[in-house]
Amino acid sequence: MNKQRRKQLTQILDALTETRESLDELHTEEQDAYDNMPEGLQESERGQAISETAGDLENAVNELDSIIDTLTDHTD
């Protein structure tokens, strides 16, 4: 990879890393909201929706981790 494309890839990685960090913060907030609900509310439709969203956000973070790891191999 030439220097220009490597620089572009580094910029993309920086943006992906920032996005990953933002999603991780949202995941933590959503998971905390669910964890702090009374058990009865956790079992409600709203509680289940919050739990599902937290899970989806965690999956997105994990996918971005994988993408970042893959692309990082090409910036060295």
CA 67 to chain centre: 11
**Residue 5 to residues 17, 22, 33, 59, 66, Cα–Cα distance (Å):** 18, 26, 42, 29, 21
Contact call for residues 3 and 76 (beta carbons, < 8 A): no
CA distance 42 to 51: 8
Q: What's the token pair of residue 68?
A: 């970042």
What does each of the 76 residues of the chain score in pLDDT, given as a tens digit? 888 999 999 999 999 999 999 999 999 999 999 999 999 999 999 999 999 999 999 999 999 999 999 999 888 7
Contacting residues for 67 by C-beta, under 8 A, at least 6 apart:
16
